Structure 1
Amino acid sequence: MKRSLKLFMILAFCLSINTYAQDTKAVVDKIVAEANDNSQLENLAYELLDKNGPRLVGTPQMNSANDWAVAKYKSWGIDARNEKWGEWKGWERGITHVDMVSPRVKTLEAMQLAWSPSTNGKDVTGDVVVIPNVANEAEFKTWLKGIKGKFVMIDMAQPTGRPDYNWEKNGTELSVENMKKDRSEVSRAWSQRVRNTGLTSRTLPAALEEAGAAGILISNWSRGFGANKIFGAATKKVPTIDIGLEDYGTLFRMAEHGDTPKITVKTTGKELGMMPTFNTVAEIRGSELPNEYVVLSAHFDSWDGGTGATDNGTGTLVMMEAMRILKKIYPNPKRTILVGHWGSEEQGLNGSSSFVQDHPEVIKGMQALFNQDNGTGRVVNISGQGFLHAYEFINRWLAPVPSAIRREIDTNFPGTPGGGGSDYASFVAAGAPGFSLSSTSWDYGAYTWHTNKDTYDKIVFEDVRNNAILTAIMTYMASEDDQFFPRDQSVLPLNPRNGQPMSWPTPRNPTRKGGGE
């Protein structure tokens, strides 16, 4: 009798495992089919990027995108809301138009920086000058007395507008070596020129506008053809304008040769006072363990040189599409599935760290968080973030992912906790298991990260679609897992810089009232 009972229990256990495997395969197959046969990614990208545009914190476009995301989730039958976490200096980008009017006429490639003061829609014409190569601060102060009404260039002109890879492809070994040597010498000389003013690149703009400059001209080249990074302005009264590398070089050389160029500038950006800032949060309530959470994560804000397509429109699209698929295929999850579209990541993870502060119940019940940020490429790395048991759980959740997607992914266990970089770090610092779905580059750093080229056309939709499949499957597996992810932390290695043991990062205190930059 005992032998028969034991055999029955073994058979029942094997049948339950087989049934679970069959159920898992059925759900995974449906997820893959829905993602491939009914993808909404292209339409979501159009609505988010082309129609709404960039999502700089504190702008009407960011708040409009928050409202759009809530409406989109509700159209899929998913509860969604905007949660206010703070306020930021309000500003709206307008027209930037810059013409060289002497010694010849040319419309220049130009864009005012975020939060830049405008010319109030008026045409302002003035000579262009370069900060001088003075011997000391006293000489610079004397020079300052003559810049009223002039536009001042505060960056060096690049010796070459060709990216290094283009030189290495076409140049000789000696020509590449000489180019890099010349560029280093020019860069060192320029740094010394700035130091001789007694100021820094960050304090120069304020001193120049205080002395009466009509505007500040910069060129923040991203080391890719036609790509410049567009950040925030440090000026409070006059516009700060980024000029494309080629046009900046033309102005610079003219000024240095004594053929003083003259430009006409018109900018129409608007200051809007303090604006409320939000995280967009949506959830599919858990049916068995509603107080345990699997969190999908992507920052919603962007810089506004382009439309924020790969930073972080693609991460946003991955999480929205994964939620849409899960609602359709897996509408009654075991645990609550929550998605967070965070604000002001670009200024220091402010939206996500505010959420961590405001929602201790989510941190306490968090089974896992999956964050995607760094560009349009396929996911190629997942680190255990220093959690001792990450190997067991991550590998279990990855197991049913189609091999064509899974084989591209390297894993690193237990890894070390991320101290910054993207929003998963806000959760890791609180001791909760947050994981970065890190993607391959597609020349992200040079061409789309914070640049004027970060637009819809740079999206690789096949990679984004595979990332949505990966995220949906891992979320399903984490939700169904019989075990809750343990919080045990691994012993961290020594810091190679000082030889001291590394320590777990501490939660950051978010900036809830910001003034730009």
Structure 2
Amino acid sequence: MRNKYWMWLVALYWASSSYAQVCQPEGMAFRVKEEAFNRSQVEELSQFMTDELGPRLAGSQMSERAEKLVVEKLKEWGLTNPRTEVASKFSRGGWDNEKNYVAMTLPYYCSFSANPKAWSGSTNGLVKGECVVLDVKHKSDLEKYRGKLAGKVVLMPVQQEYQISYEPLASRYTDEQLQRMTLDRRPGKPRQASDSESRKAMQELQNAVTSFMKTENVLAVVSGGGTFNVPTSRRVEYQVGDSQPVPEIILPIEDHGRMVRLLNRGKKVEMELDIRNRFTENLHVNNVMAEIPGSDPKLKNEVVLIGAHLDSWHGGTGGADNASGCIVMMEAMRILHTLGISPRRTIRLALWGAEEQGYHGSRGYASKYLYDSEKKKALAGYDQFALYLNMDFGSGRFRGVYLEESDQAVPFFETWMKPFKSLGFNTLAPFKVGNTDHVSFSVLGLPAYQFIQDPLEYGRTYHTTMDTYERLSLEDLKVNAAIVAWLALNAAMDNERIPVKPGYPEAYSR
């Protein structure tokens, strides 16, 4: 009986030790925090990434300019091999807004905070025209407008109305909310109903309306989106080689709604617009990369990847979405490089291109280095992939990690996060999240994770003209950079690494 007891203890020990959850010494944690909090470059980086770089729409000339300036910054810091890498083809091409003036002139004058839709066309200089509301629910409804819209400014129907909210504009997660996040949702996870047919019908109607507007020679199309007199950023469907689309404008729902209400009451409304957009044939998406090379002969080819997307929408300067993530990841690399740390595995920085247009940068990286989808074959980089950490949920402080249903990751993060629990970084959420670059890797079964972040005011500012430097919480970004530096260091030094999900990559192929 005694022998069986000891055998059970030994088996339990080896089971719990199969992944060597080793945390770097407290002295090293102190050094990381000291550099991150007392010699931070977050404020300088924040102004650089927003005020200096400006908007960074995928494929645009401003995006190419930003890539060059970021590479120069990384070279200035002395990181290894700062560069741009072509990630994928980009059939939309480049688009930059060069002039934007929109106003109502009748029944009275009012200039608007307007935002042209990306990849929409230009007006022929300053144009003026009467406004008309287009109320189309079915393709057949278009016929009643045929021959009546030339030289008109077409207002789309109101799709959204402002609702008074009694919730705070900015918030942080409460302890109760974070505790609920630790509960595993898988047992009761409902199957998602498919709405592909309704989406397809909506897209077909939208395509019909777009085509009709062009044949009718309208001056411009105006829609509503965004509250508090702040318009959102959107795009039109365009491919290089297409004829230039009709100019399309987004107004805040309050301004758009005002004109629609006036027209519906029989009042005459007129507008004037001067929109100039430039199209360029930029047919590729780039990623910005740099490394701290690994030093262990056996592990140096394995990669701990940290990243965020460099592209933004065109209306603002992409402060929260996602200059904030780039600031944190760049600052984390600076901290580790400044401390002179020589990691066993390579730590690689990746600032992705065209995330907002469909994860082009991170998907391109995965296709080039990790997995060939056509051949259904893992590439050399798949077995060398140690970890990916992503930031793309605004400027709020890290409160933990979404584990993508990876139970094997729990003991690693539980061990590595200990020195930062006093800063509120203590939650492990078992479930998956989407809508950002870590998905390009997690779908392959690889250990790739997005951080849980305090929401702050993200919901009302992202994808709007308000997403600028003022949206950044510098204190939170300092904490986040220290956490990324610490986790990346631990992952680069540990004897073991978080395993690929069981059954992958074969499960991705099916």
Give 3-state SS (helix, strand or coil) of 1:381's partner. strand
Once the two structures are TM-superposed, the CA of residue 119 in structure 1 deviates from its matched residue by: 1.4
Change (3 A) 1:375 1:204: same
Change (3 A) 1:149 1:327: same
Give 3-state SS (helix, strand or coil) of 1:91's partner. strand
Q: Given the alignment, which residue of 285, 306, 324 partners 1:296?
A: 306
What is the match of residue 96 of structure 1? 100
Alignment of 1:439 onto 2:447 = no
Change (3 A) 1:463 1:504: farther
Distance in 2, matches of 1:473 and 1:367, equals: 15
Distance in 2, matches of 1:448 and 1:117, equals: 25
Once the two structures are TM-superposed, the CA of residue 197 in structure 1 deviates from its matched residue by: 12
Distance in 1, matches of 2:356 and 2:400, equals: 22
Q: Deviations over 1:240-274 (max 9, x none)?
A: 00112232122112211222211111011111123
Structure 1 range deviating more: 318-327 or 372-381: 372-381
Give 3-state SS (helix, strand or coil) of 1:465's partner. helix
Distance in 1, matches of 2:405 and 2:205, equals: 38
Distance in 1, matches of 2:168 and 2:479, equals: 31
What is the match of residue 211 of structure 1? 216
Distance in 2, matches of 1:436 and 1:166, equals: 25
Q: Given the alignment, which residue of 354, 361, 383 partners 1:351?
A: 361
Equivalences for residues 111-510 of structure 1 within 5 A:
111-120=115-124, 122-132=125-135, 138=140, 140-156=142-158, 158-160=160-162, 162-163=164-165, 165=167, 200-201=205-206, 203-221=208-226, 224-234=227-237, 236-288=244-296, 289-360=299-370, 361-401=380-420, 403-405=421-423, 407-413=424-430, 415-416=431-432, 418=433, 420-445=434-459, 447-489=460-502, 506=508
Distance in 2, matches of 1:198 and 1:341, equals: 31
Change (3 A) 1:372 1:505: farther
Aligned residues of 1:299 and 1:341 also touching (Cα < 8 A): yes
Change (3 A) 1:253 1:505: farther
Change (3 A) 1:383 1:104: closer
Give 3-state SS (helix, strand or coil) of 2:393's partner. coil
Q: Which runs of 5+ in 1 are unaligned?
A: 1-19, 168-195, 492-502, 509-517
Query: TM-score, structure 2 length as denominator?
Result: 0.80
Q: What amino acid maps onto 1:385 in structure 2?
A: E
Change (3 A) 1:163 1:123: farther
Structure 1 range deviating more: 81-90 or 349-358: 81-90
Distance in 1, matches of 2:332 and 2:462, equals: 24
Distance in 1, matches of 2:257 and 2:23, equals: 64
Aligned residues of 2:115 and 2:232 also touching (Cα < 8 A): no
Aligned residues of 1:87 and 1:277 also touching (Cα < 8 A): yes
Q: What amino acid maps onto 1:229 in structure 2?
A: T
Change (3 A) 1:359 1:100: same
Distance in 2, matches of 1:432 and 1:354, equals: 16
Change (3 A) 1:504 1:303: farther
Give 3-state SS (helix, strand or coil) of 1:290's partner. coil
Aligned residues of 2:79 and 2:291 also touching (Cα < 8 A): yes
Once the two structures are TM-superposed, the CA of residue 358 in structure 1 deviates from its matched residue by: 0.8
What is the match of residue 241 of structure 2? none
Change (3 A) 1:237 1:388: closer
Structure 1 range deviating more: 84-93 or 36-45: 84-93
Q: What amino acid maps onto 1:363 in structure 2?
A: Y
Distance in 2, matches of 1:220 and 1:507, equals: 39
Aligned residues of 1:397 and 1:474 also touching (Cα < 8 A): yes
What is the match of residue 512 of structure 1? none
What is the match of residue 42 of structure 2? 41
Aligned residues of 2:22 and 2:416 also touching (Cα < 8 A): no
Distance in 2, matches of 1:384 and 1:157, equals: 36
Give 3-state SS (helix, strand or coil) of 2:282's partner. strand
Relative contact order: is structure 1 or structure 2 higher (C-alpha 8 Å, sep ≥ 6)? 2
Q: Which runs of 5+ in 2 are unaligned?
A: 1-20, 170-200, 239-243, 371-379
Q: What amino acid maps onto 1:101 in structure 2?
A: T
Q: Deviations over 1:126-174 (max 9, x none)?
A: 101101478x75553132321111011113175546446489xxxxxxx
Q: Deviations over 1:86-121 (max 9, x none)?
A: 34311111111012222222212212111111115x
Aligned residues of 1:157 and 1:248 also touching (Cα < 8 A): no
Give 3-state SS (helix, strand or coil) of 2:63's partner. helix
Distance in 1, matches of 2:286 and 2:66, equals: 10
Q: What amino acid maps onto 1:323 in structure 2?
A: M
Distance in 2, matches of 1:23 and 1:380, equals: 20
Aligned residues of 2:56 and 2:314 also touching (Cα < 8 A): yes
Change (3 A) 1:116 1:507: farther
Q: Deviations over 1:222-254 (max 9, x none)?
A: xx4233321102474320001122321221122
Aligned residues of 2:139 and 2:205 also touching (Cα < 8 A): no
Aligned residues of 1:94 and 1:269 also touching (Cα < 8 A): yes
Q: Percent identity?
A: 28
Q: What amino acid maps onto 1:400 in structure 2?
A: P
Distance in 1, matches of 2:203 and 2:428, equals: 48
Distance in 2, matches of 1:460 and 1:368, equals: 26
Aligned residues of 1:27 and 1:330 also touching (Cα < 8 A): no
Query: TM-score, structure 1 length as denominator?
Result: 0.79
- Count of residues in correspondence between the two structures: 441
What is the match of residue 69 of structure 1? 70
Aligned residues of 2:228 and 2:252 also touching (Cα < 8 A): no
Structure 1 range deviating more: 249-258 or 452-461: 249-258
Equivalences for residues 19-38 of structure 1 within 5 A:
24-38=25-39
Once the two structures are TM-superposed, the CA of residue 206 in structure 1 deviates from its matched residue by: 2.6
